[in-house]
Amino acid sequence: MSLIKLAEKVRDIRSDIKVRRQVEERLKEFELIGKSDKLIWLREMTFCILVANFSALNAYNMALELERSGLLLYGKRQEIISLLRSMGHRFYNMRADFIVRARGTLDEVYSVLPRLPDFEARDWLRKRIKGFGMKEASHFLRNLGRKDLAIIDRHILKVLLKYGVIKDLPKTLTRKRYISLEKSLREVAEMCDLNLAELDLYLWYSETGFVFR
């Protein structure tokens, strides 16, 4: 197995017109989010905080409920804890703390990010936002419409393991290792004439059977 085999798999998935349209629609949605107001940015930031080691669908539903209830912008830490706990998040205390802290940086994030290229933006976010590492920062930026960053989560790592790109599933990724794996994924994307944002959605589909975020 190799990067070439992985590229062949991605091309095969992409040949499905229905899946390709879903990917295209999702990427258009991300571009619109990048042009949206601060509340939408905070919702996406919150989703990226909640999804770490958790279900993507459940994390997004929680972010939506925080937005709908008004707690996202105005909720106290304990109120956010109560909502996350009631909806089944395992790490409700820590995630609530991260969300409140992220909310405090929102004006700065909204002002600074548009001025930074992808890689600088990612490094700035992971240093500035409590709860953000390389993956979370990449995820947030992709959901704002950025296209040249890889989101290396457990689903993507399983794909890389399956195709022999890595020998085992690492518990954590250093910045250096993350960038190395991102380089391998960029090679696959180039073989398929895709950007990394597109590739991520196809790889996610290959593991889960649906296109999400």
Single-letter amino acid, residue 22 = Q
CB contact at 8 A, 42 and 102: yes
Contact 90, 54 (CB under 8 A): yes
Q: Which residues are catalytic?
A: 135, 153
Instruction: Region of 101 please: left (phi>0), alpha (psi -120 to 50) or beta.
Output: alpha
